[in-house]
Structure 1
Amino acid sequence: MDSKNPPIFASPDTPCELRGDKRPVDLVFLSRQTGGNRALEEEVLSLFSRQAASLGKDLTGHRSCAARKRNAHTLKGAARAIGAFGLAECASRIETAPDDPAPVTELLREVETVRDYIASLLR
C-alpha cells in the first residue's frame, strides 16, 4: 500500500452516524479484498450499489419464491464480498424463507442504508 496515498475507505476519520460507530460496510475488510487499491475500492462499491438497488427492486416484485431465493443469494454473496455483512445476513433470511415478506422489508431498508453510506464515501 502506498503510504502517500492511503485508501480513503480505511480511514478511521470517515464520518458515520449510522448505528453508532458501526459502519454498514467493513472498510478494513474491503481494503484487504482490493489490496488497498483506492480506485478499485471505488469501482467495486459503485458496482455493488447499482447491483444492490436492482436486486432489491426485483425482490419486491411479484416474483416466484425460487426467483426471490436466487436474487437473495446473489445479493448475499455480493454483500459479503465487499464487507456489508449486515446486508448479507438480511439476504440470508430471505433465502431461508423466500415466501415471507417481512425479511424483504428489512432487506430493502438495509440496502438503502448501505447505498447511502457508499454514496457518502464516493462524494
Structure 2
Amino acid sequence: MSLGDAALEREVLSLFLAQSAKLIEALSTLPRDGRELAHKLKGSARAIGAFAVADAAARLEHALMSGAEAAEPLLVLTEAVARARNAIEAILGEPSNPN
C-alpha cells in the first residue's frame, strides 16, 4: 500500500491505530450498526495486512448479520486488535494513544 514510502507507511499504521481503537470501543456495546463497524474494521485491517484482525472482524460481522451470539467473536476480535496494535507500536517504535 505504501510502495516503500516509509513516511506513508507510518501514517497509514498510525491511522489504523487510532481507527481500530475507536471501532473496538464502539463495538464493545454491540451497537445497532455493529455489522457496519465490523465491516469497516475488516477492510482497514486487510489494507495493512492485519489478516488475523480482518478474519476476526469477518466472524463478528457474520455473527451480527445472522443474529448469532456475538460476545465470543467480539472477544476474539478485541484480542486480535490488541495483538496487531502491539505489533504496529513495535514497528513505529512508540506506544500509541488510543484516544
Do Structure 1 and Structure 2 share a fold, with TM-score over 0.5? Answer: yes
Please classify the TM superposition score into its range, dividing by the shorter chain length.
Answer: 0.7 to 0.9
2:77 paired with 1:77: no
* Partner Cα separation in structure 2 for residue 62 and residue 81 of structure 1: 24
Name the amino acid aligned to 1:117.
A
Q: List runs of 5+ in structure 1 lacking aligned partners.
A: 1-32
Give 1:63 deviation, angstroms.
Answer: 1.2
Q: List runs of 5+ in structure 2 lacking aligned partners.
A: 94-99
Tell me which residue corresponds to 1:50.
18
- Indicate the RMSD between aligned Cα atoms, in angstroms: 0.9
Give 1:95 deviation, angstroms.
Answer: 0.9
2:70 to 89, 94, 100: 100
**Any runs of at least 4 consecutive aligned residues in structure 1 with deviations exceeding 4 A, and if so which?**
none
Identity %: 42
Give 1:62 deviation, angstroms.
Answer: 4.8
Q: TM-score, normalised by structure 1?
A: 0.70
1:119 to 62, 65, 89: 89
Change (3 A) 1:88 1:61: same
* Partner Cα separation in structure 1 for residue 31 and residue 2 of structure 2: 34
* Partner Cα separation in structure 2 for residue 34 and residue 79 of structure 1: 14
Q: TM-score, normalised by structure 2?
A: 0.86
